[in-house]
Amino acid sequence: MQISLYRYNPETDSEPYMQNIDLEIPDGQDLMVLDVLHLLKEKDAGITFRRSCREGVCGSDGVNMNGANGLACITPLSSIVKKDKLVLRPLPGLPVIRDLIVDMQPFYQQYEKIKPYLVNDTPAPSIERLQTIEEREKLDGLYECILCACCSSACPSFWWNPDKFVGPSGLIQAYRFLIDSRDTATEDRLANLDDPFSVFRCRGIMNCVTVCPKGLNPTRAIGHIRDMLLKRAI
């Protein structure tokens, strides 16, 4: 298989370049892209990428594979390779540190902004704050986000305004806390989102939905936030 790999080492390269590498894929096997990266690293130990769990739970190996963002560890070659060619690039829209490793700072800053923790100003109960089954169900499809950044880095609105638009990942998290029955800061949270950038830069292109490796739907969550903001304002 022919691989075209994005290479950039700021200490030795003046600018990034694509390296072409031919790799023998063992017959009768459908490797994951992460396996391919490990095979490449055996050939050239300098090739740099992030990974940890290798089973789609930690969110550390988001990369751009033949143009689509996804987790290398759970993306089988058969699902993306066409004409025996695989192009591997870092997640778009984030500064590259080295090879496939990007600086996640702009992404985390947006996450931090939405206060990703429960805020409750009522006296703490002796054991725990209980939820009904229905209340708990509202968090399904939201809490599963692993912060891999595949969605935000596929979103044109996030590319143009990474410092102002919260992005699909931050917004799916924001909604997760907005509808949590145990959270009492709904009004503050909404007030912090009610500017022309944080939420309203979403144009509903749905790249985020297409790429999310956990099958989540940030666009729907964003729509719910917009409805909450509208109800609050009219």
Partner 1 sequence: MVTSVTNLGKSGVSDWLLQRVTAVILAAYTVFIVGFLLLNPELTFTQWSGLFETTWVRIFSLLSLISLGAHAWVGLWTVSTDYIKPTGLRFLFQAVVVIGLFVYVVWGIQILWGA
Interface with ligand SF4 (CB under 6 A): 145-151, 155, 157, 168-169, 172, 202-208, 211-212, 214, 216, 218-219, 222
Q: What are phi and psi of 72, to 5 degrees?
A: -60, -35
Query: Smallest distance, Å, CB 71 to ligand FES?
Result: 4
Q: Interior CA angle at 46 toward 44 and 63, to 5°?
A: 95
Query: Smallest distance, Å, CB 140 to ligand SF4?
Result: 14
SS3 119: coil
What is the contact surface with partner 1 in residues (CB under 8 A)? 157, 160-161, 164, 191-200, 226, 229-230, 232-234
Which residues, other chains included, contact 175 with Cβ-Cβ below 8 Å and sequence gap of 6+? 142, 221, 222, 224, 225
Among the listed residues 146, 134, 16, the one whose alpha carbon sits nearest the alpha carbon of residue 70: 146
Position 46: which residue type?
G
Among the listed residues 194, 180, 197, the one whose alpha carbon sits nearest the alpha carbon of residue 226: 194
Distance CA 80, CA 64 (A): 11
Query: Smallest distance, Å, CB 192 to partner 1?
Result: 5
Query: Smallest distance, Å, CB 103 to partner 1?
Result: 19
Q: Which is nearer to ligand FES, 144 or 194 (CB)?
A: 144
Cα-Cα-Cα-Cα dihedral of 30, 33, 35, 38, to 10°?
150
Select from 71, 86, 100, 154 the one that contacts ligand FES (CB under 6 A).
71
Q: Tokens standing for 224? A: 């719910």
80 binds ligand FES (CB under 6 A): no
Q: Which is nearer to partner 1, 13 or 227 (CB)?
A: 227
- Binding partner selected for residue 191 from partner 1, ligand FES, ligand SF4, none, CB under the kind-specific 5 to 8 Å limit: partner 1
53 binds ligand FES (CB under 6 A): yes
Query: Smallest distance, Å, CB 111 to ligand SF4?
Result: 9
Binding interface with ligand FES (CB under 6 A):
51-54, 56-61, 71, 73
